[in-house]
Structure 1
Amino acid sequence: MGQYNHILLAADFNNESEIVEKRAAALKGTFSATLSIVHVLEPISIAYGGEFPVDLGDLHKELEKQALSQLRELGQKLGVPEDRQHLEVGITEKEVLRVAKDNSVDLIVMGSHGRHGLALLLGSTANAVLHHADIDVLAVRVSKNSK
């Protein structure tokens, strides 16, 4: 395995992601690498309730506020300064790859969940990143029993 200089942790803040965070931190230490974190919020569209449109903008702002708080907390836990903590809005796999490219990352670390629901039809985020990345991707298997 070659030397990694800049590692990007794709954080999803679910209950099972601690093992992914630990793996990224261990790799940071092993390679004396720079660590950055990205979390992506998928955009919330306008939902229609009957004849009247319901704007979910306030809900999105609250979700963004909560995500930023979680990102800052994780950054502090892993020793990642705010300028390397990225909160993005968009399609997860595209934003992870864009942040990796924009920041000269040479390894992406992310969780790989078992496929279920729509993921069976659409494919997992980890799978999409893995197949479109020009750099190494470590997909850490996470499950409810991980820790």
Structure 2
Amino acid sequence: MANYRKILVAIDLTDEALQVLDRALAIAKNHGAELMLVHVIEPVGYAYGGDIPMDLTDLQTQLDEKARAELEIYGEKYGIGKENQHVLVGRPEAEVHRLAEEDKEIDLVVVGSHGRHGIQLLLGSTANGILHGATCDVLAVRIM
């Protein structure tokens, strides 16, 4: 079994994030590893295909500020300092991969999975996207 030193935990800021964080914390304690949190916000323009003739900057800023505040609550609860809390904007899979590649010390990514099967899995979940293309180990925690 690998000896993990730094664990990146990708969460969606729902109540389900607690299951993912609890599992990551248990692994971190067993390995003496450091935890890093990340939440990725998809750009508001993605939802509308970029065809809205209005400036969505204020809305994007509000989403970012809200996510940072919520991530800080999780950080405080799990003893994760602000320097290890990241809110990024983009496609979740791509941003998690980028962060894991930039921080060469990350050797495990933990993400929640709803355990979809068959065609739902083939159409692509965030967990599946993170799993494929990751340069380190990935643990998909089944959300119950």
Q: Same fold (TM over 0.5)?
A: yes
Whole-angstrom CA distance in 2 between matches of 1:115 and 1:70: 27
- Does 2:60 align with 1:60? yes
* Residue of structure 1 equivalent to 2:127: 126
Whole-angstrom CA distance in 1 between matches of 2:141 and 2:62: 29
Q: Which consecutive aligned stretches of 4+ in structure 1 deviate over 4 angstroms post-superposition?
A: none
Whole-angstrom CA distance in 2 between matches of 1:67 and 1:121: 29
Q: CA deviation at 1:115?
A: 4.0
Deviations 1:2-36 (A, max 9, x none): 10011000011112221111001111111000111
* Residue of structure 1 equivalent to 2:143: 142
Q: CA deviation at 1:63?
A: 0.9
State the Cα RMSD in Å: 2.2
Q: CA deviation at 1:54?
A: 3.3
State which structure, 1 or 2, has the greater radius of gyration over its C-alpha atoms: 1
* Residue of structure 1 equivalent to 2:92: 92
Matches within 5 A, 1:36-75: 36-45=36-45, 47=48, 53-75=53-75
* Residue of structure 1 equivalent to 2:23: 23
Q: CA deviation at 1:114?
A: 4.0
* Residue of structure 2 equivalent to 1:106: 107
Question: 1:99 is matched by which residue type in structure 2?
Answer: L
Q: 2:121–2:128: 8 Å Cα contact kept in structure 1?
A: no
TM-score by length of 1: 0.85
Does the residue aligned with 1:86 lie in a helix, a strand or coil? strand
TM-score by length of 2: 0.87
Structure 1 window deviating more from structure 2 (119-128 vs 72-81): it is 119-128
Q: CA deviation at 1:135?
A: 0.9
Structure 2: stretches of 5+ with no match in the other structure:
none
Task: Provide closer, same or farther for how the CA distance between residues 55 and 122 of structure 1 changes in structure 2, counting only shifts above 3 A.
Answer: farther
Question: 1:92 is matched by which residue type in structure 2?
Answer: P
Whole-angstrom CA distance in 2 between matches of 1:2 and 1:60: 39
Question: 1:98 is matched by which residue type in structure 2?
Answer: R
Does the residue aligned with 1:132 lie in a helix, a strand or coil? coil
